[in-house]
């Protein structure tokens, strides 16, 4: 088996050097997306108390139940402490020295591209995110969230014809309060954990997706998150509801400008899948990771959880994590219905002084539930990269199956790669298998590439791309290319 | 010895055997051939009692008894032997212990005394010689780390030890080089008597150069669509299965 | 200031009340550590399941000051070898007895190689102050774990083994740990094993209970294995199910040393093994294995921590468990590869069979790696016997029951195989097979060593 994989890698090496000039382009670049956009902002002053929360809710013209939701979360949060169990060194965060609401002043109308703030459009163009009409052909609908407020949602009409709702969560709260009330907090309750509670109290925007019964969403839905203003925390909230027999694939991408100070990002994503529904959620996370000396960068504390509520439903998480100074993130599946399936595919790459503690939880509750975990960690520089995962089979979960494969690759002798799986099995018909390996990149493979004329840096990039292929293959095509480029950029300078 | 009447079987709700009829008498060798996916291995699995398959219709009589009613181990004790297409590796269980347990279970079933350790070892030596296999195979755990050829030879050795009335050889020839094939075939031929019978399940004619069948059946889409003498095997070798498929579809 | 539980305060009070009694017969060098241990215990207390390392075993309900505690010099007056035999068939050994954590004088008469010392920790600590100074509380630090702190506060007696450089003790040194008495009892046994350069020894701990009282044991064993030395260590635990035992085993290995440590839990109430090994010298080799066969409401938690502190060492770890009835198993295996510990090979696996719908297993294999030129892997499985293997056996005429037993035994055999003493291997092999066959009353107290019938115990 390894032999075959190696051959593939070599083939890719050769093909890539000949054809893919992109790779050369992206080396010698630091953080490509580190620019700052001057857009007039409508901000609340720094700090957090009940008044600030009431003000957020007021400005967003929210119904009463939302304010209650926020206040309950806030009161929970006050009683909680920042989690310290992860393999992370988190500097103290001053939650009062942060802005909890920042919206572009000229809120663009949604009817036409022309009405979008030109500067904002320029930002999108620089990002290369697919917002213009050409992308109709690519079948991508985008909800872009810049600093907390959803700016533009494309293709709403096409989607509306099928009864699909894809809009910002703020609009959803206005227009579909019943749906939001029913599902918001049903997967991640307001008091779930420290960061989720904070998010529930102050979230300013995010995406809402609703796929009605029997509908297959005809295009990939995509949102793009970007932190722009200084001293702002970004707290977006995403809610996806897939009714019986529906299908949706959702993509999330993130960037942030380069800044010296650390910025906080504490998002919550909730997914509800009803009978036979399937939801695929893909993330390419590329927040600013800080500079070579570990200065600046995003603190990414995210709670993502999906519930397979209906029988035969399926939720699949795919993530490519290359950014952020600190990542604390465990996209999870609660397999409540019978015959439900949860999947988690992850690539986490850390370089310089980045720290990542990421993994998943698979909670088997229903009968004949299955879960699969494929995690590929890559550590370089002085970084620390941990996989942390839980597979829990409850007493009533007959015939549960899980397979986990967690591999770590070390590039350099100053970094760390760690694996902390928890397997809690309370039913004897379960079959649960966990495997993990840690090793460094194969010198023989690099030499083989060298001998074929590929320099070491490119060889490492290519071998790493081979190593993560199983995960990358889960991404939609466009994202896959983007993800490979990102990996290449992030590895820059890691080979001595 | 074996009478199969209108046998239907399915797995995961999908019907694989769709009305098999076959009679095997003592002293006979039957070859069952057919393209991939025709149900050959399913037939072997159903006859030996693999619980993954569900019999939804039909009868099988083995020496006058209802075979389908028996547990897998009782079928084996009654003298039904399957040479597995993919013999299972059982780490930690020594071949010696495994064979001794199996043989003594059979003796107990027949109401005979178990073999003493020395008689058992003598029998092992004997049978190894008969089927011409290396002695060190029996010193290891069951099939653990065996090559494909070693596994198949080990199946034939077990067959020699248990001396079945009816042996079903499921694709025993697949993955064997010529030497191993010869050893396997010689073993089968040496064990042939007038009071036992053999069913060879195979995709290729190759094995039949070494073991001469009395009858050749072609299985297609879960049914026996053609039965004839050994000349049918040669015809299949020359013309492939397409003409049978065509004939059958018409 | 960390708040400690009320019961921990009562243990501290018990310590202060009895301190003079505990210290009376102990070496000043041992006494010297008690204050430090007390300070640490005030911080740590008895671990509850809120302590990450004890997530699956909450010790707080069990360790309380209410147990009668004997601080007198010798807890047992009778002739122990007359009522209890713990013989491994055809295995000659240097056998010593410990009753309720205290050494009973009188070995079986085998002559030890010159310079080799085996005996009471309390006595020998006073004579061998250099060894105590060098190793005592150095291998098992008091500040990390409340149980080590508690043990170091109360430590009084245990076994002391010293094998000087170049000496080879051919026959196994067998320590029979017996718990007996009419009253419920808490025991803090303290052992020290020092195998000097190029020396070799085999040490076998057999843990038994003789009466029905509740026994709460917190033992700590420190073992130093010097360069090129070899220690073969076995622990066979066979106690009634009113027993709660925390066994701390702390090994420190120097360069090119070899440790084989094997843990067999055949019967117990609640068992927690803390197995720590530090590979502190290059080319040290470490093999740790364990087998736990539990039923009823038994609970076994094996916690291991292999610290690859230097380059070029190797560790291999295998733990296997079979959980019957409503028993619960737990396993944690952490492998730490320190920065610059290059060319480390570390492998670990934990496999479990759950036999009934009420049995449970929690497992946490963990890798923590700070060096890049390493080969490390771990694997963990929880499941049932393989259906294909079962069918294969049945298709050869072996009954379902027999096939089940054969496969269970084969599952366990991988661990038994690691026993280096052939006689002991045979004995354990037989016991495990009988155990799976149900031929052996799994409640018998001393299934391991063929204890004389009149003392055989029934389950509570």
pLDDT tens digit sequence for A152-208: 455 667 788 888 888 888 888 888 999 999 998 899 888 888 889 988 888 887 888
Residues 96-135 of C with CB under 8 A from B: none
Distance CA A95, CA A73 (A): 15
Of the two residues B132 and A355, the one the predictor is more confident about is A355
pLDDT at site C126:
93
Contacts of B89 in chain C (CB under 8 A): 389
Confidence category of residue A6, pLDDT binned at 50, 70, 90:
very low
Distance CA A227, CA A256 (A): 5
Distances (CA, A) of C260 to C89, C229, C230, C346, C379: 22, 12, 8, 15, 20
Confidence category of residue A5, pLDDT binned at 50, 70, 90:
very low
Confidence category of residue B20, pLDDT binned at 50, 70, 90:
very high
With beta carbons less than 8 A apart as the criterion, state whether A464 and A458 touch.
no
pLDDT at site A140:
47
3-state SS class at C198? coil
Residues 121-160 of B with CB under 8 A from C: 141-142, 158
Q: Is residue A247 a part of any domain in this protein? A: yes
Per residue in B52-91, pLDDT (tens digit) is: 899 999 999 999 999 999 988 889 999 999 998 888 888 7
Distances (CA, A) of B66 to B1, B27, B71, B78, B169: 12, 21, 11, 11, 21
For residue A218, give its domain range: 10-491
Return the closest-CA partner of residue A374 out of A401, A339, A394, A348: A348
Distance CA A354, CA A169 (A): 31
Contacts of C363 in chain A (CB under 8 A): 422-423, 425, 434
Tokens of B13: 């709700």
Residue in the structure block whose two tokens are 């703020």: A170
pLDDT at site A493:
66
Which residues of chain C fall short of a pLDDT of 50? 1-2, 73-74, 442-460
User: Which residue on chain C is closest to A389 by alpha carbon?
Assistant: C364
Average pLDDT, chain B: 88
Interchain CB distance below 8 Å, A436 and C379: yes
Distance CA A13, CA A449 (A): 7
Of the two residues A231 and A382, the one the predictor is more confident about is A382
Strand pairing partners for A251? A222, A282
Distance CA A340, CA A333 (A): 10
For the ranges A103-112, A369-378, C89-98, the lowest mean pLDDT is seen at A103-112
Distance from CA of B214 to the nearest CA of C (A): 26
pLDDT at site B209:
86
Check the CA dihedral A21-A25-A31-A36 and report its sign. negative
Q: What is the four-CA torsion angle of C275, C276, C279, C285, rounded to 10 degrees?
A: 0
CB-based contact, C387 to chain A, within 8 Å: no
**Residues ≥6 apart with Cβ < 8 Å to C98:** C104, C157, C158, C159, C175, C176, C177, C178, C189
Chains that touch A (3 or more CB pairs under 8 A): C
Tokens of C247: 């066994």
Contacts of A389 in chain C (CB under 8 A): none
With beta carbons less than 8 A apart as the criterion, state whether C262 and C236 touch.
no
User: Which residue on chain C is closest to A422 by alpha carbon?
Assistant: C364
pLDDT at site B96:
85
Q: Is residue A4 a part of any domain in this protein? A: no
> What number does CATH give the domain B2-248?
3.40.50.300
Contacts of C413 in chain B (CB under 8 A): 92
| Residue among C386, C391, C403 whose CB faces B50 most closely | C391
Give me the half-sphere count of Cα atoms (radius 13 Å) on the Cβ side of residue A177.
9
With beta carbons less than 8 A apart as the criterion, state whether A305 and A269 touch.
yes
Q: Is residue A389 a part of any domain in this protein? A: yes
Q: Is residue A5 a part of any domain in this protein? A: no
Contacts of C371 in chain A (CB under 8 A): 410, 413
pLDDT at site A366:
94
CB-based contact, C368 to chain A, within 8 Å: yes
b/e sequence C103-141, b meaning 16+ C-beta within 10 Å: bbeebeeeeeeeebebbbbbbbbbebeebbeebbbebbe
Tokens of B82: 């399957």
Residue in the structure block whose two tokens are 């020359």: B238
Average pLDDT, chain A: 77
Alpha-helix runs per DSSP H in A203-335: none
3-state SS class at B120? helix
Centre a 10 Å sphere on the Cβ of residue A473 and count the other Cβ atoms it contains: 10
Confidence category of residue A129, pLDDT binned at 50, 70, 90:
very low
Task: Please state the domain extents for chain B.
Answer: 2-248
Of the two residues C136 and B137, the one the predictor is more confident about is C136
Interface of A with C (CB under 8 A): 85, 87, 395, 408, 410-440
Contacts of C376 in chain A (CB under 8 A): 437-439
Q: What are phi and psi of A456, to 5 degrees?
A: -60, -40
Indicate if the pLDDT at residue A18 is higher than 70.
no
Instruction: For an interface test with B, give the residue of C353, C381, C389, C395 to mutate (most B CBs within 10 A).
Output: C395
Distance CA A203, CA A195 (A): 11
Per residue in A274-315, pLDDT (tens digit) is: 999 999 999 888 877 888 887 888 888 899 999 999 999 999
CB-based contact, B49 to chain C, within 8 Å: yes
Interhelix angle C400-416/B95-110, rounded to 10 degrees, is 160
Distance from CA of A395 to the nearest CA of C (A): 8
Interchain CB distance below 8 Å, A422 and C364: yes
ipTM value of the model? 0.81
Distance from CA of B92 to the nearest CA of C (A): 4
Of the two residues B214 and C442, the one the predictor is more confident about is B214
pLDDT at site A109:
38
3-state SS class at C305? strand
Domain total in chain A: 1
pLDDT at site A105:
53
With beta carbons less than 8 A apart as the criterion, state whether A186 and A128 touch.
no
Distance CA A32, CA A416 (A): 26
For the ranges A46-50, A361-365, C347-351, the lowest mean pLDDT is seen at A46-50
**Residues ≥6 apart with Cβ < 8 Å to C136:** C29, C30, C33, C125, C192, C222
**Residues ≥6 apart with Cβ < 8 Å to A90:** A82, A84, A299, A326
Return the closest-CA partner of residue A138 out of A121, A115, A154, A157: A154
Distance CA C67, CA C184 (A): 6
Interchain CB distance below 8 Å, B90 and C409: no
pLDDT at site A342:
95
Q: What is the pTM of this model?
A: 0.81
Which range, A132-141, A364-373, B99-108, has the best average confidence (pLDDT)?
A364-373
Per residue in A134-166, pLDDT (tens digit) is: 333 334 455 555 544 444 455 667 788 888 888
pLDDT at site B67:
93
Chains that touch B (3 or more CB pairs under 8 A): C
- Stated as kind and residue range, the H or E segment containing A148 is none
- Stated as kind and residue range, the H or E segment containing B45 is helix B40-48
According to DSSP, the β-strands at C360-369 and A416-425 are antiparallel
Per residue in C143-176, pLDDT (tens digit) is: 999 999 999 999 989 999 999 999 999 999 999 8
**Residues ≥6 apart with Cβ < 8 Å to C14:** C65, C69
Contacts of A430 in chain C (CB under 8 A): 354, 382-383
pLDDT at site A156:
67
pLDDT at site A107:
42
According to DSSP, the β-strands at C173-179 and C200-209 are parallel
Indicate if the pLDDT at residue A463 is higher than 90.
no
From edge to edge, which strands make up the β-sheet containing B29-33?
B80-83, B166-170, B197-201, B29-33, B215-220, B223-228
Q: Is residue A3 a part of any domain in this protein? A: no
Of the two residues A120 and A281, the one the predictor is more confident about is A281
With an 8 Å CB cutoff and a minimum of 3 pairs, decide whether chains A and B touch: no
Strand pairing partners for B15? B10
Cα A477–Cα A478–Cα A480 angle in degrees, nearest 5: 65
Distance CA C246, CA B133 (A): 52
Interchain CB distance below 8 Å, C367 and A439: no
Mean pLDDT, rounded, for A250-272: 75
Of the two residues A132 and C89, the one the predictor is more confident about is C89
Return the closest-CA partner of residue A315 out of A304, A327, A328: A304
User: Which residue on chain B is closest to C407 by alpha carbon?
Assistant: B93
Mean pLDDT, rounded, for A251-257: 66
Distance CA C78, CA A483 (A): 75
Q: What radius of gyration, in Å, describes the C-alpha atoms of chain A?
A: 22
Of the two residues B13 and A305, the one the predictor is more confident about is A305
With beta carbons less than 8 A apart as the criterion, state whether B57 and B47 touch.
no
């Amino acid at each position: 088996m390894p032999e075959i994989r190696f051959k593939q890698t070599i083939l890719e090496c050769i093909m890539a050097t000949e054809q893919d000039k992109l790779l050369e382009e992206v080396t010698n670049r630091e953080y490509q997306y580190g620019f700052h956009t001057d857009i007039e902002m409508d901000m609340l002053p720094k700090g957090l108390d009940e008044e600030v929360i009431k003000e957020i809710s007021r400005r967003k013209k929210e119904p009463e139940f939302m304010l209650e939701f926020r206040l309950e979360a806030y009161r929970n949060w006050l009683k909680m402490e920042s989690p310290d169990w992860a393999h992370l060194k988190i500097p103290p965060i001053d939650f009062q020295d942060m802005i909890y609401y920042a919206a572009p002043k000229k809120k663009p109308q949604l009817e036409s591209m022309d009405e979008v703030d030109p500067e904002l459009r320029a930002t999108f163009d620089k990002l290369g995110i697919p917002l213009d009409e050409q992308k109709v052909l690519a079948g991508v609908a985008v909800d872009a969230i810049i600093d907390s407020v959803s700016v533009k949602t494309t293709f709403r009409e096409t989607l509306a014809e099928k009864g699909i709702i894809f809009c910002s969560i703020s609009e959803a709260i206005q227009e579909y309060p019943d749906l939001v009330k029913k599902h918001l907090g049903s997967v991640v309750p307001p008091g779930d954990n420290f960061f989720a509670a904070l998010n529930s109290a102050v979230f300013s925007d995010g995406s809402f997706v609703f796929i009605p019964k029997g509908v297959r969403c005809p295009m990939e839905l995509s949102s793009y998150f970007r932190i722009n203003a200084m001293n702002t925390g970004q707290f977006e909230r995403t809610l996806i509801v897939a009714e019986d027999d529906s299908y949706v694939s959702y993509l999330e991408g993130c960037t942030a400008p380069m800044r010296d100070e650390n910025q906080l990002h504490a998002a919550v994503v909730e997914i509800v899948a009803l009978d036979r529904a399937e939801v695929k959620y893909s993330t390419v996370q590329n927040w600013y990771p800080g500079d070579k000396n570990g200065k600046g960068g995003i603190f990414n504390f995210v709670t993502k959880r999906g519930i397979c509520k209906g029988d035969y439903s399926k939720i699949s998480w795919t993530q490519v994590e290359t950014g952020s100074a600190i990542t604390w993130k465990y996209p999870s599946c609660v397999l409540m219905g019978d015959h439900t399936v949860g999947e988690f595919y992850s690539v986490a790459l850390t370089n310089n002084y980045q720290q990542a503690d990421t993994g998943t939880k698979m909670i088997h509750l229903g009968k004949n539930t299955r879960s699969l975990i494929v995690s590929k960690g890559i550590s370089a520089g002085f970084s620390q990269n941990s996989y942390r995962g839980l597979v829990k089979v409850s007493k009533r979960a007959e015939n549960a199956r899980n397979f986990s494969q967690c591999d770590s690759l070390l590039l350099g002798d100053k970094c760390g790669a760690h694996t902390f799986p928890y397997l809690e099995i309370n039913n004897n018909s379960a079959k649960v298998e966990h495997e993990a390996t840690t090793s460094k990149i194969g010198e023989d493979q690099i030499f083989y590439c060298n001998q074929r004329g590929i320099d070491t840096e490119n060889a490492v990039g290519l071998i790493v791309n081979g190593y993560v292929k199983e995960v990358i293959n889960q991404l939609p095509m466009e994202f896959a290319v983007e993800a490979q480029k990102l990996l290449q950029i992030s590895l820059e300078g890691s080979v001595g | 010895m074996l009478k199969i009447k209108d046998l239907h079987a399915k797995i995961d709700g999908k019907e694989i055997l769709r009305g098999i009829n076959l009679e095997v008498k003592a002293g006979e060798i039957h070859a069952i051939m057919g393209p991939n996916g025709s149900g050959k291995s399913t037939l072997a699995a159903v006859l030996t009692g693999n619980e993954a398959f569900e019999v939804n219709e039909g009868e099988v009589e083995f020496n006058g008894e209802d075979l389908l009613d028996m547990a897998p181990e009782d079928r084996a004790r009654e003298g039904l032997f399957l040479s597995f297409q993919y013999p299972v590796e059982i780490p930690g269980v020594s071949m010696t212990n495994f064979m001794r347990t199996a043989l003594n279970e059979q003796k107990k079933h027949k109401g005979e005394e178990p073999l003493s350790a020395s008689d058992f070892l003598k029998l092992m030596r004997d049978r190894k010689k008969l089927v011409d296999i290396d002695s060190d195979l029996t010193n290891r755990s069951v099939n653990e780390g065996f090559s494909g050829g070693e596994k198949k030879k080990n199946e034939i050795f077990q067959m020699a030890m248990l001396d079945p009335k009816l042996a079903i050889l499921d694709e025993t020839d697949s993955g064997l080089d010529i030497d191993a094939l010869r050893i396997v075939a010689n073993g089968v031929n040496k064990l042939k008597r007038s009071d036992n019978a053999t069913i060879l399940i195979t995709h290729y004619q190759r094995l039949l150069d070494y073991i001469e069948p009395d009858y050749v059946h072609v299985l297609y889409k879960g049914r026996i669509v053609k039965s004839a003498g050994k000349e049918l095997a040669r015809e299949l070798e020359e013309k492939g299965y397409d003409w049978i498929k065509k004939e059958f579809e018409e | 200031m960390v708040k400690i539980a009320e019961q921990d305060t009562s243990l501290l009070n018990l310590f202060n009340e009895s301190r003079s009694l505990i210290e009376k017969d102990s070496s000043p060098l041992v006494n010297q550590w008690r204050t430090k241990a007390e300070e640490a215990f005030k911080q740590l207390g008895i671990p509850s399941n809120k302590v990450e390392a004890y997530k699956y075993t909450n010790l707080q309900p069990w360790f309380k000051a209410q147990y009668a505690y004997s601080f007198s010099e010798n807890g047992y007056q009778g002739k122990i070898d007359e009522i209890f035999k713990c013989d491994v068939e055809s295995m000659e050994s240097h056998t010593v007895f410990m009753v309720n954590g205290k050494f009973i004088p009188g070995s079986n008469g085998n002559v030890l190689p010159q310079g080799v010392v085996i005996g009471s920790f309390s006595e020998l600590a006073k004579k061998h102050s250099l060894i105590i100074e060098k190793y005592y509380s150095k291998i098992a630090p008091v500040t990390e774990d409340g149980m080590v702190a508690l043990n170091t506060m109360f430590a009084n007696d245990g076994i002391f083994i010293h094998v000087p450089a170049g000496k080879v003790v051919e026959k196994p040194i067998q320590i029979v740990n017996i718990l007996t008495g009419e009253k419920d009892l808490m025991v803090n046994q303290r052992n020290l094993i020092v195998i000097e350069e190029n020396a070799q020894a085999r040490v076998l701990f057999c843990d038994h209970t003789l009466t029905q009282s509740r026994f709460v044991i917190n033992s700590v064993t420190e073992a130093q294995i010097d360069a090129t030395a070899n220690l073969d260590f076995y622990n066979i635990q066979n106690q009634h199910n009113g027993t709660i035992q925390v066994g701390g085993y702390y090994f420190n290995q120097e360069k090119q040393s070899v440790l084989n440590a094997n843990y067999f839990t055949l019967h117990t109430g609640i068992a927690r093994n803390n197995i720590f090994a530090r590979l502190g010298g290059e080319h040290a080799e470490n093999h740790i294995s364990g087998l736990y066969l539990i039923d009823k409401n038994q609970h076994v938690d094996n916690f291991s921590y292999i610290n690859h502190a230097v380059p070029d060492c190797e560790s291999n770890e295998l733990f296997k468990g079979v959980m019957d009835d409503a028993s619960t198993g737990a396993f944690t295996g952490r492998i730490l590869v320190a920065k610059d510990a290059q060319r480390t090979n570390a492998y670990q696996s934990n496999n479990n069979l759950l036999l009934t719908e009420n049995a449970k297993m929690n497992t946490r294999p963990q890798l923590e790696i700070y060096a890049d030129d390493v080969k490390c892997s771990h694997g963990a499985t929880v499941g049932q016997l393989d259906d294909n293997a079962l069918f294969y056996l049945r298709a050869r005429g072996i009954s379902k029951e027999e096939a089940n037993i054969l496969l269970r035994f084969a599952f366990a055999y991988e661990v038994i195989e690691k026993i280096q003493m052939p006689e002991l291997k045979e004995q354990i092999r037989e016991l495990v097979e009988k155990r799976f066959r149900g031929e052996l009353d799994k409640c018998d107290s001393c299934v391991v060593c063929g204890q004389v019938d009149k003392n055989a115990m029934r389950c509570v």
